[in-house]
Amino acid sequence: MKQTVVRKILAKAVGQSQVNVGDVIEPQVDLAMSHENAALVMNQFFEIYSGLNAEPKVWDPNRISIILDHRVPAESKKTATNQKKIREFVAEQGIAKFHDIRGDEGGICHQILPEMGYVLPGYVVVGTDSHTTTHGALGAFSFGIGATEMASVWALGHVLNVEVPDTIKVIIDGEMQKFVSAKDIILHLIGKISAQGANFKVLEFHGSTISAMDTSGRLTISNMSVEAGATSGIIPADNETLRYLREVAGFTGAFEPVLPDNDAEYCQTVHIDVSKLEPQIACPHTVDNVKSVSEVEGTRIHQVVIGSCTNGRLDDIKIAADLLRGQKVSKNVRMLVFPASSRIYREALELGYVADLMNAGAVVMNSGCGPCLGVHQGALGDGEVALATTNRNFKGRMGNPVAEVYLSSPAVAAVSAITGVITNPIKGGY
Amino acid sequence: MLKVIYKLEDDISTDIIYPGRYMATVLPTETPQYAFDDMKDLNQLLNGKSTDEQSIIVAGNNFGCGSSREQAASTLVGHNVIIIAKDFARIFLQNAINLGLRTIICPDIEAVAGDVLEIHDDKVVNQTRGTTHPIIPLPEARRAIVEAGGLIPYTRLKLKQKLGIS
Ligand code: SF4
């Protein structure tokens, strides 16, 4: 009894009836995900095997997923060579859940995992990416690890030395106003508890707003939980999770949702009423520097980015297309849209959203991380300002330490692309 | 006794420690040159100093927040520095321990560049100022990795057991 979701999942992963906060355990992994940094994981994996009289072999090729997304198509010979080595490794080891640079099944790792049905409620998921927290939206315990730790998982099938984390219960109630979305809720929460407010802890989300929210919005909330320092952001599985897995992910098998005990012990409880919440915006250069959009209205912007594993899904692109249909992106703004997966891209094409966006002046790019990390495309010029639906605005993010990045929802980003300044869609008469 | 070579503020992200544009560089031996590449003074200081001599960088809260990129730890290993921070972000701390970067959690550390510090098991003594600052010890689980010499040798031990080889 008294177990939170993460404690129950971890207990199962070590074959015990219960674990306690602070216990150090070695949980079995259900899914281990990497992207281009698999090149470093491979290096460390071979290092582990060096000097051992054994053929390097991953513990279970069906439980490893590798997705090329960060710099696709490759921007340099170095990246291209890393990607080539990864393909060779995938073939050698028989890694099943591999997604290459393709128009039929490529995309950002944190979108591919849920939409392919690779993550199920109750899973322990690790990824060599901090936004691995995303998959908590499906009721899994999903967290980011480093490349050497992943090499260790590839070799052994479990994570060494996991401390069972404490859990903060977040209760979100109230009906959101028009143009207020999951992104505004999570930005508001990060602003409230700070960028390290949940460091070493798990956020477990409850409340009527979460129950009514679809999985796309939940993925946004779990994705950005790491920006409050959280190890994972878990939304206990419910009927919506089941719907998503059946209708979107095409999963037909059975699974057992993991729910917290009624008397589960939390280290802290945070209540948020979102009924009066305005659209939120994270200002440079920290994600917890959150304000209401009206406080920064009128700020001149040079680039708008809609996309990323945070807000690059079909509903996000629809919001932008609906707002931009028949309108024009300001002559002073470059608007870049990058759907989170090829599948989303195709759906956006079929539904006419891509045409709406292009007619308005936006550039729709191939699926991938693109400008989100600023190494590959869409870098900012000195002194320029971007408004993005991504998840980080640190100095140097988007490729230039003397540029500024604001973070918002797709609605705020789309409306601001038209006006050329940060604009509140609620007041804009949209 | 070791010298503080630099004092950093709170919330130093991995984008600052190791900019994303160098992420295609993965080998731990090749990453050190890019440490703090967008803070030219610190980058030049690190690249100009001899690695024979260990030195200290002092940081505030939430050092290493942001991405899971392990290069942020390997780049500092290559410069033979110890990081004393008020607090670290989780993934960075884990990466540091896995790669053998010495990280010290010292919630009330007060020191600036030029100060001379003495590091004990339970405290840091600032010789220059005559102040003492308690250390939060590493959890035992993490110490096991440090004692094995990092996560690679530690995993190798476990793997030998699993495969039944000696
Ligand atoms: S879209 Fe951005 S945050 Fe998401 S995985 Fe890619 S680089 Fe990371």
Strands (DSSP E) contained in A18-100 are 24-25, 31-34, 64-67, 97-99
Q: In chain A, which segments carry CATH 3.30.499.10?
A: 5-272, 280-419
CB contact under 8 A, B13 and A43: no
Average pLDDT, chain A: 96
**CA A90 – ligand 1 centroid, Å:** 22
**ipTM of this model?**
0.91
Q: State the Cα–Cα distance between residues B111 and B125, nearest whole angstrom.
A: 10
Q: State the sign of the Cα–Cα–Cα–Cα dihedral A33, A288, A380, A344.
A: positive
CA within 13 Å, CB half, A100:
14
b/e map of A1-11 (b: 16 or more CB within 10 Å)? eebbbbbbbbb
Does the domain made of A5-272 have the CATH classification 3.30.1370.60?
Answer: no
Q: Taking CB atoms and a 6 Å cutoff, what residues make up the pocket around ligand 1?
A: A 70, 108-110, 129, 131, 308-309, 369, 372-373, 390-391
Chain A residues close to B66, C-beta within 8 Å: 130, 392, 394
CB < 8 Å from A in window 11-70 of B:
11, 13, 15-16, 19-21, 23-27, 38, 61-62, 65-70
Is the peptide bond between A99 and the residue preceding it cis, with omega within 30 degrees of 0?
A: no
* First-to-final CA distance of chain A: 50
- Structural domains in chain B, sorted by start: 2-163 (3.20.19.10)
Return the exposure string of A87-108: e unless at least 16 CB atoms fall within 10 Å of the residue's CB, then b.
eebbeebebebbbebeeeebbb
In order along its 166 residues, chain B shows pLDDT tens digits of: 899 999 999 999 998 999 988 988 888 889 999 999 999 999 999 999 888 889 999 999 999 998 889 999 999 999 999 999 999 998 999 999 999 999 999 999 999 999 999 999 999 999 999 999 999 998 777 888 988 889 999 999 999 999 988 7
Distance A390 CA to ligand 1 centre (A): 8
* pLDDT for B142: 82
Helix, strand, coil shares, percent, chain A, to 5: 35, 20, 45
Residue nearest to atom 2 of ligand 1 (CA): A372
3-state secondary structure of A375: coil
Give the gap in angstroms from C-alpha B110 to the nearest C-alpha of chain A: 21
pLDDT digits (tens, 9 = 90+) for A303-354: 999 999 999 999 999 999 999 999 999 999 999 999 999 999 999 999 999 9
The topology under which CATH files domain A280-419 is Aconitase; domain 3 (3.30.499)
Q: Which residues of chain A have pLDDT under 50?
A: none
Q: What is the pLDDT of residue A376?
A: 84
State the count of interchain CB pairs (< 8 A) between A and B. Answer: 152
CA nearest neighbour of A142 among A127, A160, A156, A153: A127
On whether the CB atoms of residues B47 and B29 are closer than 8 A, the answer is no
CB contact under 8 Å between B145 and A145, yes or no, is: no
Which ligand 1 atom minimizes the distance to the CA of A130? 8
Contacts of A156 in chain B (CB under 8 A): 155, 158-159, 162
Find the Cα–Cα–Cα–Cα dihedral A410, A413, A418, A424, rounded to 10°: 100
Token look-up 């590449």 returns B37
Contact A395 B16 (CB under 8 A): yes
Chain A residues in contact with B15 by the CB 8 A cut-off are 392, 394-397
> Is the Cβ–Cβ distance between A390 and A406 less than 8 Å?
no
Q: Which residues of A touch B60 (CB under 8 A)?
A: none
CA of A368 to the centre of ligand 1 (A): 8
User: For all residues of chain B together, what is the average pLDDT?
Assistant: 93
Indicate the pTM of the whole model.
Answer: 0.95
| pLDDT digits 0-9 by tens, A354-364 | 999 999 999 99
Strand order in the sheet with A201-206: A232-234, A201-206, A166-173, A268-273
pLDDT at A280: 98
Closest residue on chain B to A163 (Cα): B141
pLDDT at A1 (0 to 100): 77
Residue A289, number of CB atoms within 10 A of its CB: 16
pLDDT of B53: 87
Q: What is the structure's pLDDT at A428?
A: 64
B115 touches chain A (CB under 8 A): no
pLDDT for position A429: 64
Q: What is the predicted pLDDT for the residue at A219?
A: 98
Q: Which residue of B has its CA nearest to A53?
A: B165
